[in-house]
A and B are shown apart, each in its own frame.
Chain A
Amino acid sequence: MRVLVIAEHNETTLRSATLNTIQAGLELAPQVTVFAAGQKIGPVVDVLSKIGGVERVLKAEAPELFHQLAEPVTQALETVASQFTHILAPATTFGKNLLPRLAAKMNVMQISDLTKIISADTFERPIYAGNAIETVQSLDPLKILTIRPTAFVPVQSTQQPAVNESLSLPPLSSPVQHISLESSSSERPELTSARVVVSGGRGLQTKENFRLIEELADCLKAAIGASRAAVDAGFVPNDYQVGQTGKVVAPQLYVAIGISGAIQHLAGIKDSKIIIAINKDPEAPIFQVADFGIVGDLFEIVPQLIKALKEQE
């Protein structure tokens, strides 16, 4: 088994999903090779080489690899892909954008968003937004896999630096020009990777009342989500939507406030570790999946909760 893990980084820091992906790689083989691409990525390569289980780091450096667009990074990966039996990337927007492109170039059927490795060729992955689990066996000689980061613990161990190797690259061409990257202005954690998510639904009644959700999220250092009903009602923008067609989340704690729990919303939250629901309707479907439920008026309960949390700080 020769396993390659593609590192996700922003030229200076490694994205933590890489550590979860290396862990998945280490379930396939005792040691893995890591690939990193960018313009000038010395600091990232240093970090990678000290992660436990990393046998060697392949460094692809070129001006065209700045911003890590899928087209030139795939070209760089194609120079080494055939040396491996498994190529893994995190199932983040970076990995999802990149890896199917490589898979098509290698005539491989990628397996997306793995949550469990059963053997070298057999894997589990959620389908229908987690409402079913598919066990698939890859028949391709090369396995190309994206890894759901929340399904694997991050590698914690460190080691003496592994060797790193600069790849000699073919001339890279990028038809795509990167214009800008606008980071979300919010100081809150990103919704899909947050430890705590507080979501509001139609029960909030107005856009102004959504401030209550923000206030609780501030207390808990949480990301903010919303049900489709709240988005459709215009309380919050579309990118807050949690659910099958919105964002699928798997935090340690999910707090659903004034959300009745439509199927498509439940599909997006069911991998959360603990779900807390606050709703005035005791029959609301959200209570069927919630670990803890509070039945009552959210406009009384949420302020009480905020007060109680602040008092204990």
Chain B
Amino acid sequence: MKIIVGIKRVIDYTVKIRIKADASGVETNNVKMSINPFDEIAVEEAIRLKEKHPEAEVIVVSIGPTSVQETIRHALALGADRGIHVDTPAAPLPLTVAKVLKAVVDNETPHILLLGKQAIDDDCNQVAQMASALLNWPQATFVSHISLEGQTCRAIREVDGGLETLSFPLPAVISTDLRLNTPRYATLPNIMKSKQKPLQVLTLSDLGIEESPHFKVLKVSEPPARKAGAKITVEELVPYIKKVQAEG
């Protein structure tokens, strides 16, 4: 069995972001970067599947500048077998990411394409659905449980107000939600070992992909700021709560 996991390098979720003075985007220089948390859950799930199916191979793919190789090494230290870095000046739009993943999948023919449900920087929540459309594969998004039986997968999805169970044949695209697992930490020996694992570098033209302009970011601005309000007592608070309830 072969599993491809897509991973994105993003600003660490504990960092308070700063918007650039020229409103062109969010400052990423000298900011702590990490693997997107949902992608880390995808890596963890792939490694758990590998632990159950020792013949399985786990390949991680990341798209972006050379710095994403650090994120790939992190996934290799967690237990992935090899990495593919698709070299682009910046992280492309989800549609391009989906096209890249399709091209990699066409070359590697995995059984599962496992992705985080959304990146915590652009919050798009698109790549898995788009990749499965381009591949014409079944999709299972926002998944909190996976079980495999031969070439059939059963997945539980987190949907608004409940849990939906689906069954589908492999190959398939699966996107992870928060409850799927709790990722492990990389141990020092595994971090050392990860440095020896193979990491292939490809370009968009190697994969026959042209990036086309689909949209322009006109500006990035601060959201309306919330102001610290008054410190009050329980007696003072109750009328405000009653007011909100009355409006319902």
Could you tell me which A residues sit within 8 Å of B by CB distance? 69-71, 74, 92-94, 96-105, 107-113, 122, 125-140, 175-184, 190, 192-193, 195-196, 220, 237-239, 241, 244-246, 252-253, 262-264, 270, 273-276, 282, 287-295, 301, 304-305, 308-309, 312
Contact = CB atoms under 8 A, between A and B. Distances in A.
Interface stretch (B52-60, B66-74, B104-112, B237-245): B237-245
B222 interface: yes
B94 interface: yes
Given A71-B139, A112-B125, A253-B244, A100 B130 contact: yes
Which of B93, B159, B161 has the most CB atoms of chain A within a 10 A radius of its CB? Answer: B161
A126 B125 CA distance: 13
Nearest to B238: A308
B237 to A, nearest CB: 6
Contacts of A104: 95, 98, 129-131, 133-134
A244 B13 contact: yes
Contacts of B237: 276, 292, 294, 305
A294 B238 CA distance: 12
B213 interface: yes
Contact of B216 (A126, A137, A312): A137
Interface string B116-137: 0000111111111111111001
**Which DSSP category, helix, strand, loop or mixed, fits chain A's interface?**
mixed
**Which DSSP category, helix, strand, loop or mixed, fits chain B's interface?**
mixed
Interface stretch (B78-86, B163-171, B195-203): B163-171
Interface string B24-38: 001000000000011
Interface stretch (B43-51, B184-192, B223-231): B223-231
A309 B163 contact: no
Contacts of A290: 228-229
10 contacts: A97-B139, A109-B214, A139-B213, A176-B140, A177-B168, A182-B164, A183-B161, A252-B248, A275-B229, A292-B230
A126 B162 contact: no
A308 B234 contact: yes
B17 A131 contact: yes
Contact of B167 (A179, A181, A263): A179
